[in-house]
Structure 1
Amino acid sequence: MRKHSYFASRFREGWPGLAEMEPYFLAPSGKRWFFETRNDSAGLTVEGVDGTGHFEPTDRRRIAIHLDMWGHPELGVQLTYRKKGGGHDETFYSTGDLSRLDEHVRSLHDTLLPVGLFISYEDAWKAVKEFIATNGERPKSIAWVEEEALPAGTFPAP
């Protein structure tokens, strides 16, 4: 398996250690997430899971899992879990207040994000730790909603 990440505005092989990541989720308000880099996104990826590591990276049988994170100063973190390849094409989102799916905030990358998919920093941290501990399994510590179950317009065009 190959693990790589984009965290604190740095691309790297492997995943950051828990001690490095924890302050971004559990520090006092105004000091969490990537306040020093002015970036609001991060991601952890593992490729070649479920015994597919022997396939070339471009082979559709090779399975890759991505945990994408978008932080917001007041709303918390939106997590996106994607499993692709080897017959998988799954996307799940963290479940916050689903009555707010029609409300959006704009990320620093100019992406519209549904407010109803944000969860607290504390809950996001539990899910990220579980993702790391299980080498990319979808965390059970939070609720998820499958992409197909979301109403039209949840992710409007920019």
Structure 2
Amino acid sequence: MEKRSYFISRFRDGWPEPEEIAPLFLAPLGERWFFETGNDSAGLTAEDGDGAGRVAVHLDIWAHPELGVQLTWRKWGGGHKETYHSRGDLLRLGEHVRSLHDTLLPVGLFISWEQAWEAVRDFIETDGQRPESVAWLEESKLPAGTFPSP
């Protein structure tokens, strides 16, 4: 399995050890990396063959200083086409914030920093399985306009 990661505006082969990135989620707000580097996103990717073709699993991470973290788990290839988003306050799905990359993100999909950390750690420890430590929403079940065009 080939693994890659993107944290603190740096790409690298392999995934970090959980204790290496825990402070990025659990430190006091002013000490988290997203806002000091001018980048509010991160991610983990794994690719492998499963007999039916190449399969890629991704965990995309978007952070906001007040709202917390939005996670997207995707598994594509080899007959898989799955996308799930972290489930936050669904009453706020119609509200959006802009990322530092000017991407519109639905407020209702943000979860706490602590919940996000649990999911990221679980993703790493289970080699890319969708973490069971947070609630997820399948993308196809989201209302139209949840991810509007910029």
Normalised to the residue count of structure 2, the TM-score between the two structures is 0.96
The residue correspondences of 1:74-153 to structure 2 (distance < 5 A) are 74-153=66-145
Q: Is the 8 A contact 1:46 1:66 kept in 2?
A: yes
For 2:32, what is the secondary structure of its paired residue? coil
Aligned residue among 55, 69, 72 for 1:63: 55
Match for residue 39 of structure 1? 39
C-alpha distance in 1 between matches for 2:141 and 2:33: 29
Q: Deviations over 1:125-154 (max 9, x none)?
A: 000000000000000000000001100000
Instruction: Kindly report structure 1 stretches of 4+ aligned residues shifted beyond 6 Å.
Output: none
C-alpha distance in 2 between matches for 1:45 and 1:102: 29
C-alpha distance in 1 between matches for 2:30 and 2:86: 22
Structure 2 unaligned residues grouped into runs of 5+? none
Structure 1 residue 30: deviation in Å?
A: 2.1
Structure 1 residue 33: deviation in Å?
A: 3.7
Report the count of equivalent residues: 150
Question: Residue type of the partner of 2:27?
Answer: A
Match for residue 17 of structure 2? 17
Structure 1 residue 34: deviation in Å?
A: 2.1
Q: Deviations over 1:88-110 (max 9, x none)?
A: 01000000001100000000111
Structure 1 unaligned residues grouped into runs of 5+? 53-59
Q: Which has the higher helix share?
A: 2
C-alpha distance in 2 between matches for 1:114 and 1:78: 9
C-alpha distance in 1 between matches for 2:97 and 2:3: 30
Question: Residue type of the partner of 1:122?
Answer: E
For 2:131, what is the secondary structure of its paired residue? coil
Q: Deviations over 1:50-100 (max 9, x none)?
A: x35xxxxxxx82100000000000000000000000010100000000110
Q: Which has the higher strand share?
A: 2
